[in-house]
A and B are shown apart, each in its own frame.
Chain A
Amino acid sequence: MKKQKLYWVLLGIFFLTFPFLVKSDYYQHLMIITLMWVVIGSSWNLLAGYTGQVSFGHAIFFGVGAYTAGIFVTKLEMSAWWGMMFGGITAMLIALFVGWVCFRLRGPYFALATLAGGEIFRLIAVNWEGLTDGMVGILIIQDFRSKVPYYYIALALAAVCIWVIHVIMKRKWGYYFVSIREDQDAAASMGINTTLYKNISLLVSAFFTGMAGAFYMNYMGFIDPDVVFSLHFISIMAILVGIVGGVATIWGPAVGAFIMVGLQETFRSSFFGLAPKWVSQGHALVFGLLVIFVILFLANGVVGDWKKIKRNVFRMRESH
């Protein structure tokens, strides 16, 4: 137990001092993107992993958050940092509407409705040029040239997100969310207003995803509909981060974010330039194989099946 505490402290120190340990812009950038994915994955996990409402449309909230931040600059001429707060809130308002429509459906039908929702919002962003500038996208000037401030903002966002979800899951809401996941009809007969609590879960999830979107706008300085409302790069990636790391575990999506961003970058850069260029085209294929592997052998993800992984690795060592 004491040893475990030591690990946590060391991990905390590592994250707090990371920008001083690693000076390279490139690795700082990767870390910032990973922390952003920790937020999105954890948010997705709250709704899908804990509450059992699998969303294929988290790009809706990410994109709305990003565009809110962008529009604060282009239309209201205010700082994009306002968008951090308002990005989350706007995403929640949109989530109210999404929930009102999609929670009439259950299980796979809900998932398909959110999938369609994601595409609808992408098309809105493409076509409502008066507000979003369409495919031209939004370009803003970043506030900091150094990556360090962004790193700490992303770290704080990830820490707050995980902490909030941890607190929620220990209390009444958490019990209600999991009950709804396990059996919606039994939950209703236990006095749980299933529609209300599914919406609460969705709103919290959308809030943090929206914040992550607004952060992305601030950090990258450029967005367009195909990036932030992307089915492939946002909605599906959120699911992958969740299931690879481990659904319905607090730390699963955090671990999943490191694995997925790491893999994505490894392939995007063709194994950091060591492999031929065409390898970079293969990342979607590898993601697909990874999902099949995880579903077959690690149904609870890396964190959920950690004991199983440890046991098998240990046994392999013994047999050698």
Chain B
Amino acid sequence: MALLELQGLTKTFGGLVAVNQVSFKVEKGEIFGLIGPNGSGKTTTFNCINHYFPITSGDIFFKGKRITKLKTHQICHLGIGRTFQVVKPLARMTVLENVTASAFCRVKTIGKAKKKAEEVLKFCSLSRDKDKLAKSLPIGGRKRLEIARALATDPELLLLDETAAGLNPSELDEAIELIKKMRESGITILIIEHIMKLIMTISDRIHAINFGQTIAEGNPLEVAKNGLVIQAYLGEEYAQG
């Protein structure tokens, strides 16, 4: 049984079909990449998985349980965490408070929540900044905070939405390290990424979509050689050559 399974996921906004009949399975323990050009429907797929908005048709299963109709907070409690592409720091709270609020998802008392938050911050190398206001963090720190907040909810599956976008080369290496570390701790990762260095080196399997439709799936090498993928990213003449 796959950890996460999408069956014919479709989402329309009025006449626009943002995601069209997308199906894939994410197995436990893997890093699964979701790629596609701008506007191809990647983030919309994420938003459907954690029920940011209702899907038009299709079904989503997590650990064999149908989660299509569940609310966002219920999906989080089941064990799916997510980060946002456009980061959403709780600006006027400190970094520690951000993560503490999130840790209440699993623990009841303030003492335990704070302790858990401290551990997560250490894991994400954010301990130094814990008393700073979230709005004072630079973009790299904000991305880390997104991850820390998701980790504090003890996810089995983590949806990372362009975590590496906007990072400088050294931050990028740190991000890759962090993602690998999370996988080692047993978290399955579904990741959207544009930076090929990252997605090609860490993904076990990749699913490519364009205009909301599946165009390829396989290991990084297979997907990189796929004609439709090359066409989607570079144009038709490259695909033929």
Are B100 and A185 interface neighbours, CB within 8 A? Answer: no
Are A183 and B90 interface neighbours, CB within 8 A? Answer: yes
Describe A's contact surface by its main secondary structure. Answer: helix
A161-176 residues at the B interface, CB under 8 angstroms: 170-172, 175-176
State whether the Cβ of A186 lies closer than 8 Å to any Cβ in chain B.
yes
Closest to B87 in A: A186
Are A183 and B88 interface neighbours, CB within 8 A? Answer: yes
Which residues on the A side are within 8 Å of B91 (C-beta)? 182-183
Are A193 and B73 interface neighbours, CB within 8 A? Answer: yes
Closest to B81 in A: A189
Find the residue from A175, A185, A192, A193 having the highest chain B CB count within 10 A.
A175
Segment from B30-38, B105-113, B124-132, B174-182 that makes contact with A: B105-113
Are A190 and B52 interface neighbours, CB within 8 A? Answer: no
Given contacts A185-B52, A191-B73, A194-B73, contact A175 B82 (CB under 8 A): no
Q: How far is the CA of A187 from the CA of B97 in the complex (A)?
A: 13
A242-259 residues at the B interface, CB under 8 angstroms: none
B18-68 residues at the A interface, CB under 8 angstroms: 50, 52
Given contacts A191-B153, A193-B71, contact A172 B88 (CB under 8 A): no
One digit per residue, 1 when the CB lies within 8 angstroms of any chain B CB and 0 when it does not, for chain A 171-213 equals: 1100110110011011111111110000000000000000000
Are A186 and B90 interface neighbours, CB within 8 A? Answer: yes
Query: Which one of B93, B105, B110 contacts A170 once the chains associate, using CB atoms below 8 Å?
Result: B110
Query: Which one of B88, B98, B113 contacts A185 once the chains associate, using CB atoms below 8 Å?
Result: B88
State whether the Cβ of B208 lies closer than 8 Å to any Cβ in chain A.
no
Closest to A173 in B: B104
Q: How far is the CA of A66 from the CA of B76 in the complex (A)?
A: 42
Find the residue from B52, B76, B152 having the highest chain A CB count within 10 A.
B76
Which residues on the B side are within 8 Å of A193 (C-beta)? 71, 73
Minimum CB–CB distance for A20 against chain B, Å: 40
Are B102 and A182 interface neighbours, CB within 8 A? Answer: no
Which residues on the A side are within 8 Å of B108 (C-beta)? 172
Given contacts A170-B110, A172-B110, A182-B92, contact A190 B50 (CB under 8 A): no
Q: How far is the CA of A190 from the CA of B93 in the complex (A)?
A: 15
Residues of A in contact, count (CB < 8 Å): 19
Are B73 and A175 interface neighbours, CB within 8 A? Answer: no
Q: How far is the CA of A179 from the CA of B103 in the complex (A)?
A: 12
Query: Which one of A170, A171, A188 contacts B73 once the chains associate, using CB atoms below 8 Å?
Result: A188
Which residues on the A side are within 8 Å of B100 (C-beta)? 175
Are A176 and B93 interface neighbours, CB within 8 A? Answer: no
Are A190 and B110 interface neighbours, CB within 8 A? Answer: no
Q: How far is the CA of A191 from the CA of B155 in the complex (A)?
A: 11
Query: Which one of B76, B90, B105 contacts A182 once the chains associate, using CB atoms below 8 Å?
Result: B90
Are B149 and A190 interface neighbours, CB within 8 A? Answer: yes
Are A179 and B82 interface neighbours, CB within 8 A? Answer: no
Which residues on the A side are within 8 Å of B50 (C-beta)? 189
Which residues on the A side are within 8 Å of B149 (C-beta)? 186, 190
State whether the Cβ of B84 lies closer than 8 Å to any Cβ in chain A.
yes
One digit per residue, 1 when the CB lies within 8 angstroms of any chain A CB and 0 when it does not, for chain B 143-185 equals: 0000001101100000000000000000000000000000000
Which residues on the A side are within 8 Å of B89 (C-beta)? 182-183, 186
Which residues on the B side are within 8 Å of A194 (C-beta)? 73
State whether the Cβ of B101 lies closer than 8 Å to any Cβ in chain A.
yes
Query: Which one of A185, A187, A191 contacts B77 once the chains associate, using CB atoms below 8 Å?
Result: A191
Are B72 and A189 interface neighbours, CB within 8 A? Answer: yes
Closest to B100 in A: A175
Are B101 and A189 interface neighbours, CB within 8 A? Answer: no
Which residues on the B side are within 8 Å of A189 (C-beta)? 50, 72, 76, 81-82, 84, 150
Which residues on the A side are within 8 Å of B150 (C-beta)? 189
Q: How far is the CA of A170 from the CA of B101 in the complex (A)?
A: 11
Given contacts A189-B84, A191-B77, contact A172 B153 (CB under 8 A): no
Given contacts A176-B104, A178-B101, contact A190 B113 (CB under 8 A): no
Q: How far is the CA of A118 from the CA of B21 in the complex (A)?
A: 47
Are B76 and A191 interface neighbours, CB within 8 A? Answer: yes
8 closest Cβ pairs, A-B complex: A191-B105, A191-B76, A182-B90, A186-B88, A188-B72, A175-B101, A190-B102, A179-B101
Contacts from B to A (Cβ < 8 Å): 50, 52, 71-73, 76-77, 81-82, 84, 88-93, 97-98, 100-102, 104-105, 108, 110, 113, 149-150, 152-153
Contacts from A to B (Cβ < 8 Å): 170-172, 175-176, 178-179, 182-183, 185-194
15 contacts between A and B (CB under 8 A): A172-B108, A172-B113, A175-B100, A175-B113, A178-B97, A182-B89, A183-B88, A183-B89, A185-B88, A186-B88, A190-B102, A190-B149, A190-B152, A191-B102, A192-B105
